[in-house]
Amino acid sequence: MRRPFKGRGLRLAAESQRLINHAQGMLQAASRLEERGWEQQLDLLLQKTLKNQHQEHIDAALDHLFKSQPDAYDILIDAVEANSESCLLEHEGATYQALLIAAPILAWTRFAIPSGALSAEQIAPLFSHLHAHVLADDARLAIAPLLYSIDQLPRNHVETHAAVRRMADAALKGATLQSPTDLPETTPFLADTRYLLAAIVAPVGAPLFCWQASANPPDRQQALAHWQEQAGPNVARLLPGCGIDLLLPDAFFLTCREADKQIRPASVKAAVHFLTHALDAQPDRLQAVIGGFSEETANGQIDEYRISFLPRPGDEVVYGLVWPLYGDENADHDTADLSTADAPPTRAPIQDIIHMLNDEGIVHIKHHTEIFPVEFCDDCGAPLYCDLDGELVHAEMPEESTQNATHLH
CA 388, CA 377: separation in Å to the nearest integer? 19
Predicted local confidence at residue 332, as pLDDT:
55
pLDDT band at 340 (very low <50, low <70, confident <90, very high): very low
Q: For 4-37, b where at least 16 C-beta lie within 10 A, e where not — what string?
A: bbebeeeeeeebbebbbebbbbbbeeeeeeebee
| Per-residue pLDDT at 65 exceeds 80 | yes
pLDDT digits (tens, 9 = 90+) for 145-166: 999 999 999 999 999 999 999 9
Q: Do 135 and 209 contact (CB within 8 A), yes or no?
A: yes
Q: What is the pTM of this model?
A: 0.85
For the chain, the straight-line distance linking the first and the last C-alpha, in angstroms and rounded, comes to: 23
Peptide bond into 313 cis (omega under 30): yes
| pLDDT bracket for residue 330 (50, 70, 90) | low
Alpha-carbon distance of 128 to 234, in angstroms, equals: 11
- Asked whether 101 and 197 are in contact (CB, 8 A), the reply is yes
Instruction: Name the residue type at position 217.
Output: P
Length of the chain, in residues: 409
As to burial, measured by CB atoms within 10 angstroms (0-12 exposed, 13-18 middle, 19+ buried), residue 395 is: buried
pLDDT score at 346:
67
Instruction: Tell me whether residue 120 is exposed, middle or buried, using C-beta atoms within 10 angstroms of its C-beta: 0 to 12, 13 to 18, 19 or more.
Output: exposed
pLDDT for 95: 96
In Å, how far are 25, 42, 89, 98, 261 from 30, measured between CA atoms? 10, 17, 33, 31, 35
Q: How far is CA 147 from CA 104, 111, 128, 253, 406, in A?
A: 10, 17, 17, 17, 21
pLDDT band at 335 (very low <50, low <70, confident <90, very high): very low
